Amino acid sequence: MRLRTFDTDIAPLPVREHLIYSLGMCENHVLAKQHVVVFSTLLDHWQATFAQFLALQDKISRAEARIDACDDTLDVFVDDVADALLYGNNDRTSAEFRSFFGSKQPHEIKRPILGEELETVRAWISALKNSPKPLLVELGARGEVLVANADQAVTALGLAQQEFRTFRLTGGYSQFIDAVNTGRKTVYAELGKLRHQPEGKGLPADFADQFFRHEPRRNKKQTVEAVRARIAALMAELEKETAALAALEAKAKGAEEAEQARKGLEAELAAAEQARAELEKKTAEIKAKLKR
């Protein structure tokens, strides 16, 4: 059976399982004990490499959290800008409101995680800072800081991701995988030679293969119970993801319904204000007639 060669796409934990398996097999065969040191050394190498792997993954996770935090503050900012533009007239069709939001509503602007939302807010800053309204000027200064923070967060995430890619493809992880492949091939070749030496007389043709984990061999020992357990685990994971999707869809629908309700109330308010204006006009006309 051909010995598997690992590449950098494999995750660290499966590599460790292969090394532990080979170590255990060598420890339990008198003709292979000399190779224990190869796998124990590789496991030490794995420990150091995995620590680097986790540190870089943690760096990415923290950068992603920073992105989410910036997005949350930017969402609040979008709402504050909308409220400031609507203060006093509540007219979403006004030229001023449309110059910022166009045909979109605030929840549509906020939908992306940074990305397009960040670029939209960036485009607002100059107009806000140059507005004759003090409230908008204040928002412009605040938005400028938020955009700068978001830019830094995006840059930090990109750098963290690039650092991890370098580590995996050409750096420490790649070097570790090369060492694993070299060590496994060396031991495999040495064990294969034993069949042709006096101490290895009578050894089976696949003797060397026995010291390395092969998935087909593992699969032969599958049971109905084990397969059912894996299916149950997968179904549980599917249910979890389905629930998460439903929650996200419900949140999106709720935001849309809230926006529609707000539009309805605004329309009712506009109609009521128009009716009041007409009533006040008619009242003034009647008063004027009575004075004649």
Q: What is the pLDDT of residues 255-277, one digit of tens each?
A: 677 667 766 676 676 677 777 77
Mean pLDDT across the chain: 88
Contact 32, 5 (CB under 8 A): no
What pLDDT does residue 266 have?
Answer: 67
Compute the average pLDDT of residues 71-79.
94
Q: What is the pLDDT averaged over residues 91-107?
A: 88
Q: Where are the domains of the chain?
A: 12-221
- pLDDT digits over 126-179, tens only? 999 999 999 999 999 999 999 999 999 999 999 999 999 999 999 999 999 999
pLDDT for res 277: 73
Instruction: Check residue 255 and give its pLDDT.
Output: 67
Tokens (6 digits) for 35: 């190779």
Q: Tell me, what's the pLDDT at 268?
A: 73
Each residue's pLDDT tens digit, 204-254: 999 999 999 976 444 445 677 777 777 887 888 888 888 878 877 777 777
